[in-house]
A and B are shown apart, each in its own frame.
Chain A
Amino acid sequence: MNDTARMRPARTGTRRRRKGACAVLGMLVVSSWGGLFQARPGAQARDPRQIVEEAQKRTDAASQRYEGLLQVFDARGRIADKRWTFERLGSYGRSKAVLRFTSPAEVKGVALLIVNHPDRASDQWMWTPAVERDRRIALQDRSTRFFGTDFSFEDLEARDVGQYDYRMLGDDEVGAAACWKIESTPRESKSSQYTRSIVWIRKDTYAVARVESYVGGEAVRRLDYSDFVQAQGIWTARRLEMADLRRGSRTRLTLDQLEYNAPMSDDAFTLQAIRRPVR
């Protein structure tokens, strides 16, 4: 457990348990599964929506910042590394985020601005400093791979719990942790590339442990969360590994310098802001 985790005790609970945190890259993928949990902590909640809402509630923060190391393993096991800094203002459907690459040199300064909306898909723009151009990532392109990783652009979005329907599939285990296995289906089928997803939420911390996404009947991506730490009271996985089940490749994201609720200005989340040169 790191220093940040030691700073704050567990929020609630009659028995000691770790609080769930489903913030991934701050908002990558699993943030879609966060939610407000009305039931008391530790309760044997069986309503899947309530479980997801609680998971989201526990990762709620005014802002988030971290430095990420992205490692892409291709089918032959070769690794390509990239580093970025990530800043997010707000949470879920009412958040904005800027992701800025810092290495290697050829991608340094490339930035992505994501503006999430509570009721629809996000808007995304990318800035490429060498060309001095910003470009909008069209909605049609959200299913494509995110810069050669196994994440898609859609996986970067943060969506509110209300955009999905949930169904409890039962109990399961991921690693040694007991989890709820919940199926989520987007309410507007055309708003997502995935027809459905299955999410495993740990019963002890309400942290998302795994997400498996389907297109039709085929599982196309699997995201595993590990190396959980409690940062400023929020359980956060420091390692995320996305596997593209069709390509046989995987991408690992390792979070570092994780920080929640740091002061951030709204002005830093605009097209003008991402055009500013990186120091």
Chain B
Amino acid sequence: MILLRLISWPYFRRHVLRSILTIAGIVLGVAVFVGMHTANQSVLYAFSRTVDRIAGKTELQVTAGETGFAEEVLERVQSASTVRVAVPVVEAVADTRQRGIGSLLVLGVDMTGDRSLRDYDLESGDEAIVDDPLTFIAQPDSIIVSRALADRLDLGAGSGLPLLTAEGEKRFTIRGVMKASGLASAFGGNLAIMDVYAAQKMFGRGRTFDRIDLALKSGRTIAEAQAELGALLGPGFQIDPPAGRGQQFEAILAAYSMMVDISSLFALFIGMFIIYNSFSIAVTERRAEIGILRALGATRRQIRWLFLGESAVTGLAGSLLGLGFGLLVARLIAASIGVLISDVYGVARQADEIATNPALLAAALAIGLATSVAAALIPARSAARVDPVQALQKGRHQVLSAGESRARIGVAAACGALSLACLAAPRMAPAWVGGSRAIFYLGYLLAILVALLLSPLLSLMLARALRPLLKRLRPVEGALAADSLIQAPRRTSASVAALMLSLALVVAFGGMARASYDSIIDWLETALNPDLFVMPSQNIVVRTIRFPPGMGPEIAAIDGVERVQMVRDARIVFRQTPVMVVAVEIDSLEQTARRDPVEGDAASMYRLTAAGEGLMVSDNLAQLQGLKIGELLEIPAPYGVIRLPIVGIVVDYSDQQGTILMDRQVFRKYWQDDSVNVFRVYVRRGASAAGVRQRIVERFAGERQVFVMTNAELKAYILRVTDQWFGLTSVQIAVAVLVAILGIVNTLTVSIIDRRRELGVLKAVGALRGQIRRTIWIEALSIGGIGLALGFALGAVNLHYLLQMIRYDIAGMRLDYTFPVNVALGLVPAILAAALVAAIWPAESAVRRSLVEALEYE
């Protein structure tokens, strides 16, 4: 502690900027970790809180996935001996068409019994109006809104509120305003309550409910009720506490969460290398100080602990700053995740506040601290080994990076061999270690470890390879810069390793994005080929508003329409996972689809599915759940269990968790639901799609809410959403550039300190300031170039692993391996420019350094 105060503190005070750079490494790692996880958790928390607030005193909820079920189920639930009160609910997302307001979550409830479960906490002035459920339910335009929404819209009780419904834009009358707490604060306050039967009508639900919320009789347990209701309703229903919906939402977001985890892990690794580099600077710069301490009797152990103590303090400070910074950026990231989730998953959930999880913050603090200490272990050991005699000799410096140890190469070779073995034999793993996936991830980690272990050696080899080129370009400066890199490969390798990791992540994400684009575009071309799509919402993934089937023939009768296909899609729970069911007229689809199955015979696949004798599943579902052609699927539905074989596996990206395609007749039979989400419209040859679109809009104007998208618009929409999903890549690129700047500044600082005598001699023998500058610049560019080369190499490997993860663990997508050349080409100028920027300050520092001081010994 005394050493920290007497030795370390004055050093920090003398080198404020350097200290900030040191801390920046850990701040970056912790901030990315905290920011991304907090944002992700905030969105999940916002969803759970919305569920909780809406649930009120609900103890169990009866659902059938997203499909809803017939009203009669309510009476069956109410008749259960364990149930005290059971109330129906319809949920819909409705657009307000108000700038800055967005969508409302409309909760359709039966006011008669619902107040047993939910407290609407109405403002006193509205009590008389809404306490009278008669007025409320007699008028289908009745709506209750939250105080927050009323304030945002500057509306009050009695005011009109336009909403887009299945029947077009309808003007609702606000008959109550809920106080801004509890239920009213769900969904960020964008919540409206209306009568459940009016909601059915307004949102095209027919005589179905989305779910039933229930409370139990006193003395009865949740397990008892689940057992009784399970027996009463059959396997097609889920009977879970409200928290179960949060878990389903979490499952839907699993893919995104996994990407966040990967990014966070890389950020921490990168932070570790920046710290390593920073401590290397400190050890180099304070060699004389260490020599004096050793001469005065300080033991090696004390020196080691001094540096480890400094790293702990640095880690603590960096982690604390990282926590704060992470929480700040979490808000921005959460907002973008909210938009993404709304667009990709059709679940509009905005994180209205950041959920600070103490466990996460504590973990981040501990990880930051541990990373910092771990990163300082090698520099601390080096410091402890400083020879006091050499250190006190002016003009002599100890070459810390004395070359690669054979042990390191040996370990790297062993890890490499093991990694290759894991790659070659992924299925040999015993079950107790998690089966083939554990082996796969072990192989992945080993591959990264090999790259890290070999980075000093590879940096050296590349620097040697660069030397002739640099010398040819700039005989003096080029040779000096290359020699500097060759003489101290470990000094360079930390920056290179950080850069390499960062670029490897960017390359892998870029490659995955490219492959996904190609695959999605291919799917769009072959499967989504109708000319027009008629939908009840602008958002193609919103399934809470539906059309009646009678609209199909009406659209078909419009001039210029050749064919109409009715599509009903909804998420259901299949083998404890939310997957998408897509019900369509398969015989018609066969006439228009141009896609070949991944497995199965095209002709029999369509024939059997159309006849209701089989099901088609998406390739991603087959991959994720290990489904095979011919396998008998059991799908529990509200009106029985579907038992049909898989007759075809096709590429379909309707849902990240997978899709089951069936004929509409099968869906109608087992769900008793003939509503439609989308009409796929094919235009007659010679007819104008724009003209048909206009006629469809005019046909339903004022009658129904109809959005007609052209094929090109739909594709653009899907690609835009895909863009959002891969927006993470741009964050990674920003981190990579930051890493490049930080790492290279640090490396060059070390380099200049190490070479101050050499630089002094150069100046003494007549080297111009410009030459010194260019030497440093070339060194920086070389580091950037080496980092790019190694980053691309590791990125190529990383991409392979990421595609495997996507295929088997995240989305089940079979993506082709294509190195993202365009991403790589974009990174070259970005990183080299960053390197050059990073070299400015160290170069000026080298130029201004005192010649007398540098040559004092001479």
The verdict on B78 contacting chain A, using a C-beta distance below 8 Å, is: yes
Find chain A residues with CB under 8 A from B116 CB: 140-141, 144
The verdict on A145 contacting chain B, using a C-beta distance below 8 Å, is: yes
Candidates A80, A109, A135, A139; contact of B78 at CB < 8 Å:
A139
Find chain A residues with CB under 8 A from B115 CB: 144
Find chain B residues with CB under 8 A from A128 CB: 137-138, 197
Find chain B residues with CB under 8 A from A153 CB: 112
- Inter-chain contact A107/B131, CB cutoff 8 Å: no
Candidates A80, A131, A144, A147; contact of B113 at CB < 8 Å:
A144
The verdict on B703 contacting chain A, using a C-beta distance below 8 Å, is: no
The verdict on A11 contacting chain B, using a C-beta distance below 8 Å, is: no
The verdict on A136 contacting chain B, using a C-beta distance below 8 Å, is: yes
Candidates A78, A82, A147; contact of B128 at CB < 8 Å:
A78
The verdict on B110 contacting chain A, using a C-beta distance below 8 Å, is: yes
Output the nearest chain B residue to A143 by Cβ-Cβ distance. B116
Known contacts A82-B134, A144-B113; is-contact A131 B78 (Cβ 8 Å):
no
- Inter-chain contact B134/A147, CB cutoff 8 Å: yes
Find chain A residues with CB under 8 A from B78 CB: 138-140
- Inter-chain contact A136/B75, CB cutoff 8 Å: yes
Output the nearest chain A residue to B127 by Cβ-Cβ distance. A74
Candidates A107, A129, A131, A136; contact of B134 at CB < 8 Å:
A107
Number of A-B contacts (CB under 8 A): 76
Candidates B127, B140, B197; contact of A135 at CB < 8 Å:
B197
- Inter-chain contact A141/B134, CB cutoff 8 Å: no
The verdict on B84 contacting chain A, using a C-beta distance below 8 Å, is: yes
- Inter-chain contact B86/A131, CB cutoff 8 Å: no
Find chain B residues with CB under 8 A from A82 CB: 134
Known contacts A136-B75, A144-B115; is-contact A107 B133 (Cβ 8 Å):
no
Find chain B residues with CB under 8 A from A137 CB: 112
Output the nearest chain B residue to A149 by Cβ-Cβ distance. B132
- Inter-chain contact A147/B197, CB cutoff 8 Å: no
The verdict on B201 contacting chain A, using a C-beta distance below 8 Å, is: yes
The verdict on A106 contacting chain B, using a C-beta distance below 8 Å, is: yes
Find chain B residues with CB under 8 A from A170 CB: none
Output the nearest chain B residue to A135 by Cβ-Cβ distance. B197
Binary A-proximity of B122-139 (CB < 8 A = 1, otherwise 0): 000001100111110111
- Inter-chain contact B139/A106, CB cutoff 8 Å: yes
The verdict on B198 contacting chain A, using a C-beta distance below 8 Å, is: yes
Chain B nearest CB, measured from A205 CB (Å): 33
The verdict on A133 contacting chain B, using a C-beta distance below 8 Å, is: yes
- Inter-chain contact B132/A148, CB cutoff 8 Å: yes
Known contacts A131-B201, A135-B110; is-contact A80 B132 (Cβ 8 Å):
yes
Chain B nearest CB, measured from A72 CB (Å): 8
Chain A nearest CB, measured from B206 CB (Å): 11
The verdict on B85 contacting chain A, using a C-beta distance below 8 Å, is: yes
The verdict on B569 contacting chain A, using a C-beta distance below 8 Å, is: no
The verdict on A66 contacting chain B, using a C-beta distance below 8 Å, is: no
Binary B-proximity of A144-187 (CB < 8 A = 1, otherwise 0): 11011000010000000000000000000000000000000000
Q: Could you name 24 residue pairs across A and B whose Cβ atoms are closer than 8 Å? A: A72-B132, A107-B134, A128-B137, A130-B139, A130-B140, A131-B137, A131-B197, A133-B200, A136-B75, A138-B74, A138-B78, A138-B86, A138-B112, A141-B116, A144-B112, A144-B113, A144-B115, A145-B133, A148-B128, A148-B131, A148-B132, A148-B133, A148-B134, A153-B112
Known: A130-B138, A135-B197, A138-B112. 14 other contacts (CB 8 A): A74-B127, A78-B128, A131-B140, A131-B201, A135-B110, A138-B86, A140-B78, A140-B83, A140-B113, A140-B116, A144-B116, A145-B133, A147-B132, A153-B112
